[in-house]
Chains A and B, each alone.
Chain A
Amino acid sequence: MNPELLARYLPRMLEGLLVTMELVVISVALGALLALPIALARLSSSWFWRSLSFGYVYFFRGTPLLAQTYLVYYGSGQFRHFFEAIGLWGLFREAFFCCVLTFTLNTAAYQAEILRGAIRAISQGQREAALSLGLRQHQVLIRVILPQALILALRPLGNEIILMVKSSAIAAIVTVFDLMGATRLAYARSFDISFYFWAAAFYLIIVEALRRLWDRLERRMTRHLALSAHRA
């Protein structure tokens, strides 16, 4: 590999790495905020909220993220006058914003399903016990159900973050200079395939680091359960 080329493009790829991380952190965090109400709507006793949230989750999990990104980034152009009228057109012209918006909506659907599964896995007795102790509905949810459900959800949520890191490469297709975008630029200018291998190494390092970090986090969060798990 030509060291001069590497010196020219490697810094840009590292900047891209930062953009990738920003994309993932913002989308996953905002997605988590959205996921809880969606999961609760999925479990609601009202037919209306149940079908609405089911439709949302089904759409975002059943279609390619690339198609969703195009739908937001290019599709918003069809409603240009509307967005101009409410003063949001500037945002929708930004590829980065469109990616964050799409990724957030997408990961919210996946996280909501994870949360729903975890909440359903908490035995009904926990709820009944809490209610009989005189806790109110929202207290039961916040103080009894969610703390236990979040521990169950920890591992799948970690997987979801890793999937998001990988999917975020799609941002490069709509002109965001994330790690993938910077790599494509370097390749287009130099026709040197080794840039793609550098990018591969970076992605593998992030994914592996995340996996280890998450393992450690899970062990710490579940240390109060270690004894009973051992006994069982």
Chain B
Amino acid sequence: MDEVLGLFSFGAGGWGDELASGALLTVELAVATIPFGLVVGMLVALARRSDSKPLRILANIFATVFRGLPELLTIFIVYYGGQLLLQQVVGLVSDARVEVSAFLAGVVALGCVFSAYASEVFLGAFRGIQSGQYDAANALGLRRFPTIYCVIFPQFVRLALPGVANLWLNLLKDTALVSVIALNDLMRQTYVAVGATKQPFTFYLAACLIYLAMSIVSSFGITAIERWSERGTRYMR
């Protein structure tokens, strides 16, 4: 038992600090993806509801493609494809070699997947708000911005939250895939630790438990936010 605990100690002999730094990077990656994913997801959802047919078709293709591709393939395409694209753009002016940051590629790839699913959640939330709400706000003399900010948005958040919470939990797990493009996240740090200690089961189990702990902590946060978003409803449990 002491031997196992020693493996996870912080400092030169143990791998605790390496795993912790990997876990931190995993969280950073997931947190950095959220704003990108939410904004693009909202834009895609609005485009899918728009009156312009080409815009609708384009947005639908985006959502279908990124929901249909394996996340791993999306990461590879963004990482290698992005590198190639940037290299060609830079190649027009100089012959410097371009390195795409694995972190950035991870954020873009995971963000595309997140936003494709998020657009679906947002569409559902929009559908859940009855047109009477717009009419009522109009009858009260509210202008466009107060209508959206004070009437639609609070209901929208409540309706979209469960779906977005699920997407967050998926995102947290999907970050593990970014380890294959050499980002020193939790998964990769575990891989390194295994290489040095030859204790694969112990370390991968530890990594699983750390991911599990992240999901559990997230669930508590999600419950708190959901309660906050439901503060205006009469049917509190």
CB-contacts of A171-215 with B (<8 A):
172-173, 180, 183-184, 187, 193, 196-197, 199-200, 203-204, 207-208
Number of interface residues of B (CB under 8 A): 38
Name the CB-closest residue of A to B76. A196
B226 on the A face (CB < 8 A): no
The answer to the question of A74 belonging to the interface, with a C-beta cut-off of 8 Å to chain B, is: yes
- The answer on a CB contact under 8 Å between B72 and A63 is no
Is B200 part of the contact surface with A, judged by Cβ < 8 Å?
Answer: yes
A65 to B73, CA, bound (A): 15
B204 closest partner in A (C-beta): A71
Instruction: Count A-B pairs with CB separation below 8 Å.
Output: 112
- Residue pair B204, A193 in contact (C-beta under 8 Å): no
Taking CB atoms, residues of chain B closer than 8 Å to A78 are 198-202
Residue pair B187, A66 in contact (C-beta under 8 Å): yes
Whether the pair A196, B211 counts as a contact (CB closer than 8 A) is no
Our pick among A65, A75, A183 for the contact of B204 (Cβ within 8 Å) is A75
A169 within 8 A of B: yes
Q: Determine the main DSSP class of A at the interface with B.
A: helix
A193 CB contact (under 8 Å) in B70, B84, B200: B84
Q: How far is the CA of A192 from the CA of B72 in the complex (A)?
A: 18
- With A62-B212, A67-B207, A71-B201 as given contacts, are A196 and B72 in contact (CB-CB < 8 Å)? no
A166 within 8 A of B: yes
Q: Are A208 and B68 in contact (CB under 8 A)?
A: yes
Whether A204 contacts B69 in the complex (CB less than 8 A), given A75-B200, A75-B201, comes out as yes
- Residues of B within 8 Å of A199, CB to CB, are 73
Collect the chain B residues with CB atoms within 8 Å of residue A166's CB.
68-71
A196 touches B212 (CB 8 A): no
- For the complex, give the distance between the alpha carbons of A187 and B79 in Å: 13
In the bound assembly, the distance between CA atoms of A122 and B37 in angstroms comes to: 37
> Please, how many angstroms separate the alpha-carbon atoms of A68 and B175 in the complex?
14
Residues of A within 8 A of B68 (CB): 162, 166, 203-204, 207-208
Residue of B nearest to A184 (CB): B76
Q: Which residues of B contact A63 (CB under 8 A)?
A: 173, 208, 211-212, 215
Which residues of chain A in 121-173 are interfacial with respect to chain B, using CB atoms and an 8 Å cutoff? 162, 165-170, 172-173
User: In this assembly, does A48 line the interface, its C-beta being within 8 Å of a C-beta of chain B?
Assistant: no
**In whole angstroms, what is the CA distance A63 to B190 when docked?**
14
Q: Which residues of B are found within 8 Å of A70, using beta-carbon distances? A: 187, 190-191, 200, 204, 207
* The one of B71, B77, B84, B198 that contacts A200, using a Cβ cutoff of 8 Å: B77
Among B175, B179, B208, find the residue whose CB has the most chain A CB atoms closer than 10 A: B208
User: Can you identify 28 A-B contacts, CB atoms within 8 angstroms?
Assistant: A63-B208, A63-B211, A63-B212, A64-B175, A64-B176, A64-B177, A67-B187, A67-B204, A67-B207, A70-B187, A70-B207, A71-B201, A74-B201, A76-B201, A77-B201, A78-B199, A79-B201, A166-B71, A169-B73, A170-B72, A172-B72, A180-B73, A184-B76, A193-B77, A193-B80, A193-B84, A203-B68, A203-B69
The 5 lowest CB-CB distance pairs between A and B, nearest first, are A75-B201, A64-B176, A169-B70, A74-B200, A78-B201
4 A-B pairs besides A166-B68, A204-B64 with CB distance below 8 A are A62-B215, A65-B173, A166-B69, A203-B68
